[in-house]
Structure 1
C-alpha cells in the first residue's frame, strides 16, 4: 500500500504546488470565484490521478458506465479521510468560501431526500446494467469491503459537493437566478469530467451523460434542501454503482 501511495504523491505533487501557489495569490481577491476554480482544478487533479495507478477503474458496457475502486480498504479510508480533512481545512481557513455553503438541516427529511436522490441517480444505470454480465462491468466486489466503500463514497463526495454545490453554486446564486445557478453548477460539474472521459480513460460520452444527470439531481437537491442532501445523494449514487450490488 505504501509504495502505491508514494507513487501517487510523487505524481500529483508538482501540480498541487502550482495550484497551491495560485490559491495563495488569489486569497487577496474579493470575488471568491477564482479561488473556487483553483480548488476545483486541484480536486480534478487529485481525482483523475487515481486512474493510472489503479485506485479506481472506469469503463462502459455499451452505453452504460461502470466503476470499481481498489479493494485495498486502507487506501480507500486514507483517501476518504484525506479529502474530508482538506475540505475542513479550506472551510476553516477561508471564511469567504465558508459563507457560501448553505448546508441545510440534518433531519430525517433531508436524509430521505439525499438517499432518494442517490437511488434516482444510480437506478437507471443499475437497471440497464442487469443486461450485462458482472464480469463485463468491473466484476464482483467483496462484501467485506462494502462498509469501507460506503464511508469512502460519503466522505469523498462530500468534498466534491462542497466545491460544486457549496462554493460554486453559492457564488453563482449571488449574481444570477437560483435555477440558472443550479443548471450552471450541473453543467460545470459534468464538464470537469471531460478529461476523465476522453483522455484519462476512453469511457467517452456515457460518463459525461451520467455526470450531467447526477449533477442536475444534486444541484436541485442543494437548491431545495442544501448541501447535506446533495452530498448524501452523490455519495449513495457512487456507492451503489461501485458496490456491484446488482
Structure 2
C-alpha cells in the first residue's frame, strides 16, 4: 500500500511541480502592491492542481448523479490532505498581504464551527440519501477524512478567506459572498465540460455549495466555512474502485 501510494504521488507530482514553478515565478515577479493579481495567481495554481487530479484518477465524478469517487488508497488521500494543510500554513507565512483578508472566526467559535458542520450536512445529506449509502473500510474513511479537511481547507482559504475578504473591502458583504460563490462555480468550468463532461449539474452544485459556504463565512468566518465544505464532501465521497 505504501509503495503504491508513493508511485501515485510521485507520478502526480512530476506533472504538477513544473507548473507550480511557473506559477511561483509569476507570483514572485508580480509586485507585492498588486494584491489582487497575486491572489488570482494563487487561485489559478490551485485550480490547475485540483483539475490535474482527474486525469491521474485521484478522483472522479460518475455521471449526472454527481457521485464523487476518490482514490482507493487511503495513504494517497491522507498525503494530499496533509500537503494541502501545509500549503495553508505556507500561505499564512508567505502571503501576509492576502492572508490579512482571512477572518478565521466571527463570534462564538463553537457555535460557528457547529453551524458550519450543519451547513455541510445540509449540502451533503440529501445527495447522499438520493445516491444511497455505500460503506467503506475504516482505514479509507480515515485517509479520506484527512483529505476532505485538508483539501477543502486550502480551497476555502483561497475562495472564502482571501477572495471574499478582498471583495468585502470594495463592495457590500452580501455582494462579496455572491461574487465568491460565482467565482467558485466558474472555476469548475473546465472540470465540468472538458474533464468529466458532466456539464451543468457540476456548475449548479458548486454554485449552491459555494453560496452556502460563502454565507457561512459571512456570518461565522472562514474556519466554519471550511467545516461546511469538508463535511459536505466527506458525506459524498466513496472509494474509486
Q: CA RMSD in A?
A: 1.7
1:37 corresponds in structure 2 to 40
Contact 1:190–1:212 (Cα < 8 Å) also in 2: yes
Aligned partner of residue 66 in structure 2, secondary structure: strand
Residue 174 of structure 1: which of 152, 169, 190 is its match?
169
Question: 2: distance between equivalents of 1:6 and 1:190?
Answer: 29
Question: 1: distance between equivalents of 2:19 and 2:201?
Answer: 28
Question: 2: distance between equivalents of 1:208 and 1:124?
Answer: 18
Residue 28 of structure 2: which of 10, 16, 24 is its match?
24
Question: 1: distance between equivalents of 2:238 and 2:69?
Answer: 7
Contact 1:101–1:170 (Cα < 8 Å) also in 2: yes
Q: Segments of 4+ in structure 1 off by > 3 A?
A: none
2:105 corresponds in structure 1 to 104
Contact 1:59–1:202 (Cα < 8 Å) also in 2: no
Contact 1:58–1:65 (Cα < 8 Å) also in 2: yes
Residue 58 of structure 2: which of 40, 45, 55 is its match?
55
Aligned length: 234
Pair 1:190 & 2:175 matched: no
Question: 2: distance between equivalents of 1:100 and 1:219?
Answer: 14
Describe how 1:1-246 pairs up with structure 2 within 5 A: 1-26=5-30, 28-60=31-63, 63-104=64-105, 107-130=109-132, 141-243=136-238
Question: 2: distance between equivalents of 1:3 and 1:95?
Answer: 35
Aligned partner of residue 56 in structure 2, secondary structure: coil
Question: 2: distance between equivalents of 1:29 and 1:176?
Answer: 22
Question: 1: distance between equivalents of 2:11 and 2:85?
Answer: 21
Question: 1: distance between equivalents of 2:56 and 2:129?
Answer: 30
Aligned partner of residue 203 in structure 1, secondary structure: coil
Question: 1: distance between equivalents of 2:6 and 2:104?
Answer: 35
Contact 1:118–1:237 (Cα < 8 Å) also in 2: yes
CA deviation vs aligned residue, 1:185-222 (integer Å, no higher than 9, x gap): 00000000111111111221111111000000000100
Could you list the runs of 5+ residues in structure 1 that have no partner in the other structure? none
TM-score, with structure 1 as normaliser: 0.90
Could you list the runs of 5+ residues in structure 2 that have no partner in the other structure? none
